[in-house]
């Protein structure tokens, strides 16, 4: 449902004020208010500011007032600038430039309009016994504050004379119009619903200023791309209202609703995963979760190691300057019995240069787990130690099975490519719950251990020094 101001609904567009100086030529040429290649005066290839033009025509809107009478150029080698002016404008603004032309009897006026040297179209006028209007619409760029506006003659030779009058440049205020749209996807790893706003303004004058989500269970959000957790299965009506304003400050909104079906089978928590870090600008970083669980995620808590925190699923954070920061993500979930469980993973970010020094500020190490620790209340997981290691990595499997049976053991590099298969080393002595892997052949770096225990696969990160 679209909502906007009545004036925009009924009128469609509101016009601003004229910005052309002496567009009616009443001030003549003294002082000159426009540029032209045509010399002033009588005779061929000239322009004159007069009260009566060709065909005995008086000015367009006020008989007896001034107009420009133009004696067309003799050949194509002569200058073709009929009229030109440097005009102050606003960035990202739509304009209508218009002018009136009356060709001399037996003549054809063929002109072309330019904005900062870029053609906006050419136009041909033949005698009709009356003035003829020509509008030209264009939109300024994002940093443009003045333009060179020109009318040039295309044809030349005999019978190319015409009258010109009442040039206007008018700001076009487009109505405030916005289309609300969004995408909804369920994250099968966590049973979270991820919503992405796809709303768009309907014209260049309208800008989106806010969002309001209704998830159908009483919860709401103003984030552009929220993540929502439903506590119960069922069918929910999700609505997004998008709010916008136009250049005149008029507001409008549009609302879109869809139905989603929440169906999530909750089992043991078994939370695992990590997060990625991507540098966006100097000391700003995008943190993106990569979490999997058979339970239902209730929330996230980020600690950036600089005294600040966030509960956003995928926050953007800016560090204050150089230093080493331990960033930790804690995940809170519930299992099928409603018991709460937590999981925590930490990475280290080292910023070598001062963020304030500009583009030289950079991150030199990221996504490196600091002892890759997990803290769980009602979950079970592998324990790796020491981490980092110098050639011997111990894996405590006792937490995941009373009588563990180890299957395949694969080592992947940090890009996710298989580095080596250590399955032949995966032999447990009778009664033992600890597996020791020889990692001396691994170059120093970050690795991912993928190990199968009693038919279930576990993933853990470790560092080889």
Report whether pLDDT(291) > 70: yes
Q: 21 and 164, same structural domain?
A: yes
Buried b or exposed e, range 36-51, using 16+ CB within 10 angstroms: bebeeeeeebbbbbbe
Strand partners, 97: 136, 169
Q: Are residues 208 and 295 in the same domain?
A: no
Residue with the bigger pLDDT between 348 and 117: it is 117
**130 and 279 fall within a common domain:** no
Is the per-residue pLDDT at 364 higher than 70? no
First to last CA, the chain: 60
Q: What CATH number is given to the structural domain containing 13?
A: 2.60.120.260
Q: Looking at residue 402, which CATH number applies to its domain?
A: 2.60.40.1220
Query: Could you tell me the CATH number of the domain that includes residue 354?
Result: 2.60.40.10
Q: Mean of the pLDDT values across residues 146-158?
A: 94
The verdict on 321 and 423 lying in the same domain is no
> Domain check: are 151 and 189 in the same one?
no
- Domain's final residue, options 240, 262, 284: 262
Is residue 218 located within the same domain as residue 72?
Answer: no
Q: Which of 343, 362, 380 is the last residue before a domain boundary? A: 380
Residues 324 and 394 reside in one and the same domain:
no
pTM above 0.75, yes or no: no
Nearest to 130 by CA among 102, 94, 95, 158: 102
Residues 254 and 356 in one domain: no
Q: Are 187 and 281 members of one domain?
A: no
Q: Which residue has the tokens 């809170």?
A: 332
Burial zone of 148 (CB within 10 Å; 0-12 exposed, 13-18 middle, 19+ buried): middle
- What span, in angstroms and rounded, lies between the C-alpha atoms of 61 and 325? 73
- The token pair at 457 is 């696969």
* Tokens matching residue 107: 């003549």
Same domain, 49 and 142: yes
Find the domain containing 203 and state its range: 178-262
Higher pLDDT, 2 or 171: 171
Q: Which of 166, 167, 136, 18 is nearest to 88 (CA)?
A: 18
Cα distances from 300 to residues 281, 364, 380, in angstroms, run 24, 26, 19
pLDDT(7) > 50: no
Count of domains for the chain:
4
Q: Average pLDDT, stretch 384-401?
A: 79
- Shared domain check, 283 and 160: no
* 15, β-bridge pairs: 172
Q: Using the 3D structure, point to which of 380, 411, 443 is the last residue of a domain.
A: 380
Residue 239's pLDDT band, with cuts at 50, 70 and 90, is very high
Is 410 in a helix, a strand, or coil? strand
Residue 18 or residue 304, greater confidence: 304
- Mark whether 275 and 234 lie in a shared domain: no
Tell me: pLDDT of 166 over 70.
Answer: yes
> Residue 152's pLDDT is what?
96
């Amino acid at each position: 449902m679209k909502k906007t101001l009545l004036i925009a609904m009924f009128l469609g567009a509101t016009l601003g004020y004229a910005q052309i100086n002496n567009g009616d030529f009443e001030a003549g040429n003294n002082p000159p208010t426009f540029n032209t290649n045509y010399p002033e005066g009588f005779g061929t290839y000239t322009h004159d500011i007069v009260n009566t033009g060709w065909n005995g025509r008086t000015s367009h809107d006020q008989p007896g007032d001034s107009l420009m009478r133009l004696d067309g150029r003799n050949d194509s080698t002569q200058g073709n600038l009929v009229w030109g002016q440097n005009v102050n404008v606003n960035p990202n603004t739509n304009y209508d430039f218009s002018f009136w032309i009356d060709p001399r009897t037996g003549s054809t006026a063929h002109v072309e309009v330019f904005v900062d040297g870029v053609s906006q179209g050419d136009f041909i006028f033949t005698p009709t016994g009356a003035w003829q209007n020509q509008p030209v619409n264009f939109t300024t760029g994002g940093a443009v504050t003045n333009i060179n506006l020109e009318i040039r003659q295309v044809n030349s030779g005999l019978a190319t004379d015409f009258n010109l009058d009442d040039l206007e440049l008018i700001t076009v205020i487009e109505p405030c119009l916005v289309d609300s749209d969004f995408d909804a996807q369920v994250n099968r790893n966590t049973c979270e619903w991820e919503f992405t706003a796809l709303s768009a303004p309907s014209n260049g004058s309208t800008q989106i200023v806010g969002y309001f989500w209704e998830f159908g269970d009483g919860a709401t959000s103003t984030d552009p791309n929220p993540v929502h957790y439903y506590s119960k299965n069922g069918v929910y009506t999700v609505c997004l209202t998008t709010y916008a304003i136009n250049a005149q400050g008029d507001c409008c909104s549009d609302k879109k609703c869809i139905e989603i079906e929440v169906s999530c089978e909750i089992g043991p928590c078994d939370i695992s995963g990590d997060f990625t870090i991507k540098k966006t600008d100097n000391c700003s970083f995008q943190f993106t979760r990569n979490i999997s669980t058979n339970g239902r995620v209730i929330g996230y808590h980020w600690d950036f190691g600089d005294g600040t925190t966030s509960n956003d699923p995928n926050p953007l954070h800016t560090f204050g300057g150089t230093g080493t920061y331990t960033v930790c993500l804690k995940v809170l979930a519930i299992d099928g019995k409603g018991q709460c469980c937590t999981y925590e993973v930490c990475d280290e970010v080292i910023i070598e240069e001062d963020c304030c020094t500009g583009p030289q500020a950079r991150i030199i190490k990221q996504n490196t787990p600091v002892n890759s620790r997990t803290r769980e209340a009602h979950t079970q997981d592998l324990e790796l130690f020491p981490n980092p290691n110098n050639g011997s990595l111990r894996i405590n499997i006792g937490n995941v099975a009373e009588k563990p049976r180890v299957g395949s053991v694969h080592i992947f590099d940090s890009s996710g490519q298989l580095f080596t298969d250590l399955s032949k080393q995966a032999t447990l002595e009778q009664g033992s719950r600890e597996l020791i892997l020889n990692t001396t052949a691994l170059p120093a770096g970050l690795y991912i251990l993928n190990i199968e225990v009693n038919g279930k696969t576990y993933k853990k990160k470790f560092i080889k020094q």
